[in-house]
Structure 1
């Protein structure tokens, strides 16, 4: 029996050795009881890279990495095998080249027939790929957990099939306000509004996700503190390999800001469309106002000239006054159009609005009548505002009249002044209103109020709910344009039957309040200075010249900017340049004015226009140092503004023609003017006509001789430098033809004395003033033979 067993054991051992020698993907080797390698198969060579002679007889600890070779580790592995008969473990092992691999090791005890320990058999498999895959899965799961927990913009959490919360990330805590220990285990319906819970919305969401695999929607949800937020929600059903529902993944995003942004965008688009519409209408009205104001200027100027001439005809005066009233109404309409179009020339100053309103108290009470109570409420510590006071008074008066019309049976008008701050959130939809500090002027009535449709169109020009013929429909639109041009903001609040509130927000000023000058009724002031009128509309030009001449001024004219510079460069002294802002040609009026002052540094400049465009008005304000007389203007307006710019006292006279009171006009002279510059020649001729003399002009010496052959002249006024002959030679020959002819030489340099000249002469040094010219002619009239250079 024992022999047969031995044969079987030998056969089994032989089979095992054959198997080991034929196996290349498993390391199979034997250890002595002491742990030394006693056999080594090809699989061991393939995995560990040691040849049999390199490892047999060596302790198996050489197959471990350095950090795993402790005696305790080695004994523990073998002892576990002895205790159980075998031991299966995994761990790091080392190859011959020092590299490590993850090994699955099975150690089996070899025992003798008597149960004694004969050694161990080790079967080792290289599981590096499996380990890498395992590590990748572990790392992926770890990364996913970190990702989910690191997301703060999204609430990501798991639900059980019943809808109870089973996980909770940092984003969920941030958005919903619950810590994980407060929420895990509770039903997710607690995030819904009570009315949604009553309607079964949470359960329908789970049912849809379970049935279709996914549910997506937006709705209002509750935070821990009870506040609401707009949520975009996705619920995905989670199923196992068998298709059994094991829960839900829920992702919630707070889209409240996006919703608000969408609403702001929509409001901004609407505001942009409104702004574009207003801008288009504003450009149209501005252009129309320019031409309209020129027409009104012609009408007003000629009507006022007629009133000064026919003031004693009562019947005619009545009609002239009516016509002037019509011009005033047209001027007001034009002004409102320009205000709406933001084309006014504003002069904003620092204003105490409380003082301004107190100053308007009597005017407002007279305008509103006794049936309307006016109450003014002023907050303490009121700031000053930066605004054009005159225009704001017009706006306030228009708003008060609108309020009166909305209260036909009487009521209450409340004027409120307070400091306010328009923050970034408020101005988000207002592209043209910067955030900052403002002074609020509120006008509230207890009238009929406005419907939503009327409120939407309230600022549109010519829109009105009043009967035909009552009101122009420009009051609110004018207020809108003025406030926008000032850099402020205007808002209307109204409810039918409850009344209307208009709130105007004006920029705060840190400058001390400006004290307005008091308007005193003074007589119309004229003068004797020389004014150059630059106007391309010839009818307007003729009217203005007549008005200025009637005020006593010497007047020159030019049709455009280029002509004006020629006149100024000719040597004729000009005290005031009175020019339209909008002129044809490439040279614009402001540029012309700057060049004119370089030619004659003493020159004063006064602009006039019915529409300034952006020539002298920038950011809604008249440029610093610029003087403007807006068309249409009255004779008194013109007289006041001219004297204001010239800065000298002038002469006071209400209606009489100044030319009738000029001194030195005892006699008329026949004067031959010889000047090769056409515009200078024309200007000088007009000046002489203004002084009451008869003047004939020539451009060359040859033309002058032709005139002398036909006429007798008292005075020859000639330039020294003529294209065909020196002026001195012309004078010598002309005096021989006209005995007693007196010569005035106009030159940029003093005239040299010459005793050979057999005629009386005077020198007029360019540029000469109106007074210089008068003085020279007075010397002629006095018969003086003094040969002096009058500079």
Structure 2
């Protein structure tokens, strides 16, 4: 029923009710009833006319309101209608205001808003959507030509129109947080969007359209991509860094554990993450101190501190200790901190530092002991030389001969002492050669088996393929005997002494750890006993000079320091492992030799042989000069004597001929022995030279070349037989008894240059005298 019908009915019903009541009062009759019916008809007609007059202006007002026009009604329409019209007009104004507010709000939203009706035609599109999509109201989202291309979240796979969020919502789907990429065809930068779309339905549930709201996440995705790239770069740096990386929370729980940390500690990442780092790598006795350090570090960080660096022992998964340097920094995260630690293994650096300290100590003491040994050797040279003459003169008198032998033995012991001093200070003149160590150990074992007693069992474990070592044979023999005697003292109740050999190849880290001069092939000699062992406090000092655990008078304390100095001077290394009650093992590393072992020296048994050649003898010490002159003359040689290089040059300038220059190396004055030989050689290329010194101090470097190519050197003190043998070796043979070329002056210059560069003669130092 329309509005006019309802109004007519509203006017008619009261009139009909009144007529029926009158009829009932005056009595019912057909005539009266007919009259009433007629009256009702008239009333209905009048009501219809009145209703139409009332409904027409209301209908006009409502139609205008639906078009967004103000609702107006003529005042002739009646007072009530005017009031109703005014209410409608007010409602119209409110609706208009709200519509304007809604449109302004949608227009100002930064997100993209698009609303389409059920046909796909866009009815609402805000400024953000218009700018990106280039569309206006009326654009058909199903069939319109787009000025942009739409892709899935990967930015590569095209998104069909039928799969766009708005079109899917027009099919009745609810779209939640769908990521897509829009690329304008104008060449503008692509935009990453997250779309939420909903279908729009009326009260009856009919689909009337769809709305799509799209949020621009381009900046967020770029930031995320940059963060991911930064994280990847950080992880790449961590994976390729030399140092280990460990990340923990403020309570020390491991959050990250790099591959280097796995290699350093032995714990895998899966085993370490989630565990407390202090329980993995910190020695138990240091854990309390470690926790206190981290607490202090976090407090300093909270107060503005920048980081911390420290060195500390650490424990490997297998239980062995090593030393690390740790660099810490902390980052605030939530209510706590994340602690980042870069860890570096400094074990080898500490070993090198300790070796440097040891070398500095030996160097300081070496300068003192070397000077003492130098003076001793000068005196012993005179003693040992003259005692031979004395012994020969009193050989028919047993009592005097015995006294001469006592003097000779004492001189030999003095020479051994100075040899130990020079070995300790690494300044003794060595004669290294290719040596069969297995054979040498056999000789040492035969000697020790007669010395150590029956309660000591001696075993050997010698590899048949053991390399030859480049070492001074006699000095190595003395070192092994020394270690054997020490082992006997460590086994008062008896035990087992084992000598073993094996080959080893040392890389640079291993060479540094063992104190070896250079990496490469080495022969290892192991001397093991089953004795009482060495306490940790003594283990750190056993190679120190004059350190001894024996009673006063039972040892000099130079034995192990002599072994240490000899091995280091030979270019090798020595290490010791010991536990109290479990014995001790010494390992000596010697450089591998190139070639085969030489024949045994048989010249020691040859008779003393002199000659008739002329010797230019240059010696600054008057006592030794007098002694040497006498010895040379007794051997049949003619002697030209000079106290220094200047006197020797004066003799040469006079044209005096000579066959061999016999000169001390270190001499005071304008020129030393090497410089004298070089000067004379300039005019005498075939001149033979024999050097002598009681304090060579580097004149024979460890790697001076192979046998026969070193320095022809006669070390003080020497006996008459040694002097005679060396003179004939230099004068007689073009090759020595081993078949090697005899050294010529030019072959010794580089080594002597190095020696004199390291030990320049001091004119004011009394020890500078030969």
TM-score by length of 1: 0.61
The counterpart of 1:457, out of the listed 533, 541, 545, is 541
Query: 1:468-525 CA distances to partner (integer Å, 9 max, x unpaired)?
Result: 3343332222222111112222233445565544333333335222121235544432
Could you tell me which runs of 5 or more consecutive residues in structure 2 were left unpaired when the two chains were aligned: 1-57, 70-91, 152-157, 303-307, 735-770
Q: Which residue of 1 aligns with 2:726?
A: 641
Q: Which residue of 2 aligns with 1:380?
A: 464
In structure 1, distance between residues paired with 2:577 and 2:128: 92
Q: Which residue of 1 aligns with 2:18?
A: none
Give the deviation of 1:542 after TM superposition.
1.4
In structure 2, distance between residues paired with 1:606 and 1:97: 95
Residues 148 and 156, structure 1, Cα contact 8 Å, conserved in 2: no
SS in 1 for 2:466: coil
Residues 315 and 190 of structure 1: CA distance in aligned 2, closer, same or farther (over 3 Å): closer
In structure 1, distance between residues paired with 2:640 and 2:619: 11
Residues 607 and 627, structure 1, Cα contact 8 Å, conserved in 2: yes
In structure 2, distance between residues paired with 1:339 and 1:190: 48
Q: Compare CA radii of gyration and give the structure with the larger one.
A: 2
The counterpart of 1:2, out of the listed 48, 59, 63, is 59
The counterpart of 2:559, out of the listed 467, 475, 495, is 475
Q: Which residue of 1 aligns with 2:765?
A: none
Residues 504 and 524, structure 2, Cα contact 8 Å, conserved in 1: no
In structure 1, distance between residues paired with 2:256 and 2:551: 70
In structure 1, distance between residues paired with 2:550 and 2:362: 22
- Residue 344 in 1 paired to residue 428 in 2? yes
Residues 571 and 502 of structure 1: CA distance in aligned 2, closer, same or farther (over 3 Å): same
Give the deviation of 1:534 after TM superposition.
0.6
Residues 547 and 635, structure 1, Cα contact 8 Å, conserved in 2: yes
In structure 2, distance between residues paired with 1:229 and 1:303: 57
- Residue 577 in 1 paired to residue 634 in 2? no
Give the deviation of 1:533 after TM superposition.
0.6
Residues 8 and 549 of structure 1: CA distance in aligned 2, closer, same or farther (over 3 Å): same
Q: Which residue of 2 aligns with 1:608?
A: 692
Residues 569 and 58 of structure 1: CA distance in aligned 2, closer, same or farther (over 3 Å): same
- Residue 535 in 1 paired to residue 619 in 2? yes
In structure 1, distance between residues paired with 2:544 and 2:124: 105
The counterpart of 1:354, out of the listed 428, 438, 449, is 438
SS in 2 for 1:511: coil
Residues 64 and 93, structure 1, Cα contact 8 Å, conserved in 2: no
SS in 1 for 2:714: strand
Which piece of structure 1 moves more, 559-568 or 99-108? 99-108
In structure 1, distance between residues paired with 2:564 and 2:439: 23
- Residue 631 in 1 paired to residue 688 in 2? no
In structure 1, distance between residues paired with 2:725 and 2:168: 122
In structure 1, distance between residues paired with 2:651 and 2:502: 54
Residues 575 and 604, structure 1, Cα contact 8 Å, conserved in 2: yes
Q: Which residue of 2 aligns with 1:416?
A: 499
Give the deviation of 1:168 after TM superposition.
12
Residues 414 and 235 of structure 1: CA distance in aligned 2, closer, same or farther (over 3 Å): same
SS in 1 for 2:663: strand
Structure that is richer in helix per residue: 2
- Residue 289 in 1 paired to residue 373 in 2? yes
Residues 412 and 79 of structure 1: CA distance in aligned 2, closer, same or farther (over 3 Å): closer
In structure 1, distance between residues paired with 2:125 and 2:440: 111
Residues 373 and 412, structure 1, Cα contact 8 Å, conserved in 2: yes
- Residue 61 in 1 paired to residue 147 in 2? no
Q: Which residue of 2 aligns with 1:564?
A: 648
Give the deviation of 1:374 after TM superposition.
4.0
Query: 1:318-355 CA distances to partner (integer Å, 9 max, x unpaired)?
Result: 44433332222211111111111222222222222232
- Residue 511 in 1 paired to residue 595 in 2? yes
Residues 2 and 586 of structure 1: CA distance in aligned 2, closer, same or farther (over 3 Å): farther
- Residue 544 in 1 paired to residue 601 in 2? no
SS in 1 for 2:576: strand
SS in 2 for 1:324: helix
Give the deviation of 1:77 after TM superposition.
4.2
Residues 532 and 555, structure 1, Cα contact 8 Å, conserved in 2: yes
In structure 2, distance between residues paired with 1:449 and 1:110: 95
Query: 1:655-681 CA distances to partner (integer Å, 9 max, x unpaired)?
Result: xxxxxxxxxxxxxxxxxxxxxxxxxxx
Residues 169 and 198, structure 2, Cα contact 8 Å, conserved in 1: no
In structure 2, distance between residues paired with 1:168 and 1:315: 83
- Supply the RMSD in Å over aligned alpha carbons: 5.9
In structure 1, distance between residues paired with 2:431 and 2:729: 16
Q: Which residue of 2 aligns with 1:299?
A: 383
TM-score by length of 2: 0.62
Query: 1:526-565 CA distances to partner (integer Å, 9 max, x unpaired)?
Result: 2221111111112211111122122221110112223323
In structure 1, distance between residues paired with 2:398 and 2:440: 40
Q: How does 1:233-244 map to 2 (within 5 A)?
A: none
SS in 2 for 1:525: coil
Query: 1:349-375 CA distances to partner (integer Å, 9 max, x unpaired)?
Result: 222223233345554344445665544
- Residue 328 in 1 paired to residue 385 in 2? no
Give the deviation of 1:19 after TM superposition.
6.2
In structure 1, distance between residues paired with 2:643 and 2:562: 33
SS in 1 for 2:592: strand
Q: Which residue of 2 aligns with 1:652?
A: none
Give the deviation of 1:607 after TM superposition.
1.0
Query: 1:640-695 CA distances to partner (integer Å, 9 max, x unpaired)?
Result: 3222322289xxxxxxxxxxxxxxxxxxxxxxxxxxxxxxxxxxxxxxxxxxxxxx
Query: 1:304-328 CA distances to partner (integer Å, 9 max, x unpaired)?
Result: 4444556556655544433332222
SS in 2 for 1:506: strand
- Residue 132 in 1 paired to residue 189 in 2? no
Residues 437 and 507, structure 1, Cα contact 8 Å, conserved in 2: yes
Residues 149 and 182, structure 2, Cα contact 8 Å, conserved in 1: no
Q: How does 1:675-714 map to 2 (within 5 A)?
A: none
Which piece of structure 1 moves more, 278-287 or 572-581? 278-287
Q: How does 1:41-60 map to 2 (within 5 A)?
A: none
Give the deviation of 1:95 after TM superposition.
8.4
In structure 1, distance between residues paired with 2:576 and 2:272: 48
Which piece of structure 1 moves more, 439-448 or 567-576? 439-448
Q: Which residue of 1 aligns with 2:739?
A: none
Residues 435 and 45 of structure 1: CA distance in aligned 2, closer, same or farther (over 3 Å): closer
In structure 1, distance between residues paired with 2:183 and 2:429: 92
- Residue 394 in 1 paired to residue 458 in 2? no
Aligned residues: 610
Residues 380 and 411, structure 2, Cα contact 8 Å, conserved in 1: yes
SS in 2 for 1:526: coil
